[in-house]
Amino acid sequence: MYFSIRRVFLCLALIWVPRIATAEVAPDSIAGLAGSEIARITEIVDGDTVVLADGRQVRLVGIQAPKLPLGRTGFEAWPLAKEAKAALSTLSLGREVRLAYGGRRGDRHGRALAHLIDESSRGWVQGALLEEGMARVYSFQDNRALVPEMLVREAAARANRRGIWADPFYAVRTPEEADRYLGRFELIQGRVRDVAIVRGRVYLNFGADWRSDFTASLASKVRRLFESEQIDPLSYRGRIVRVRGWLKSRNGPMVDITHPEQIEVIVE
| Same domain flag for 119 and 213 | no
Q: In this structure, are 93 and 10 located in the same domain?
A: yes
What's the confidence (pLDDT) of residue 1?
41
Give the number of other Cβ atoms within 10 Å of residue 200's Cβ. 11
Q: Find the domain containing 190 and state its range.
A: 172-265
Q: Show the CA angle centred on residue 66, arms to residues 65 and 70, nearest 5°.
A: 105
CB 60 within 8 A of CB 52: no
What pTM value is reported for the model? 0.89
Would you state the pLDDT for residue 13? 39
Instruction: Going from the first residue of the chain to its last (268 residues), give the mean pLDDT of each consecutive group of 10, the final group possibly shorter.
Output: 40 41 73 90 98 98 97 93 98 96 95 94 94 97 96 98 98 98 98 96 95 96 97 97 98 97 92
Predicted local distance difference test score (pLDDT) of residue 137? 98
Q: What pLDDT shows up at residue 23?
A: 54
Total domains present in the chain: 2
Residue 134: CB atoms within 10 Å = 29
Same domain, yes or no: 178 and 157: no
CATH, residue 25: 2.40.50.90
pLDDT at 11: 43
Q: Where does the chain show beta strands of DSSP type E?
A: 24-25, 34-46, 49-52, 57-60, 62-64, 96-101, 112-118, 123-124, 136-138, 185-191, 194-198, 201-205, 215-218, 240-249, 253-257, 263-265
